[in-house]
Amino acid sequence: MSDVHMLTGAYALDALEGRERTAVEAHCAGCPTCFRECEEFRATAARLGMASTTVPPAALKRRVLDIVRATPRPPPWRLRMSGLGRRLRHRTAVRLLSRTLH
């Protein structure tokens, strides 16, 4: 089974079943950080769902891609250390969403 910390996004989107779903639920019951992360993923997914009902302006795609290109990426070996990669990806996703929706 995958590291439970890598499954919070999929769990928040109801994309897990069986043992993986049960493992994330059990972990989140005792880990406020992961519980909060799941709640944030759900809130972000809900906002994205609302945003997809409108046609985005052409400039939005360019702006999002510019932000993605400008966002520094640590080397892969560093992402594998502890939960740094997960936290960075989460922060980047929240930053991108915040910039594009405001």
- Decide if 28 contacts 38 (C-beta within 8 A): yes
Torsion angles phi and psi, residue 81, rounded to 5: -75, 130
Both tokens of residue 17?
Answer: 């079943």
Smallest separation (angstroms) from Zn ion to the CB of 7: 10
Chosen residue from 10, 31, 79, 88 binding Zn ion by CB under 5 A: 31
- Which part of the chain contacts Zn ion (CB under 5 A), choosing from 18-26, 29-37, 45-53, 87-95? 29-37
- Which part of the chain contacts Zn ion (CB under 5 A), choosing from 23-31, 44-52, 60-68, 81-89? 23-31
- The Cα 76–Cα 26 span in angstroms is 29
Q: Give yes or no for residue 34 binding Zn ion (CB under 5 A).
A: yes
- The Cα 16–Cα 46 span in angstroms is 18
Smallest separation (angstroms) from Zn ion to the CB of 19: 17
Smallest separation (angstroms) from Zn ion to the CB of 11: 12
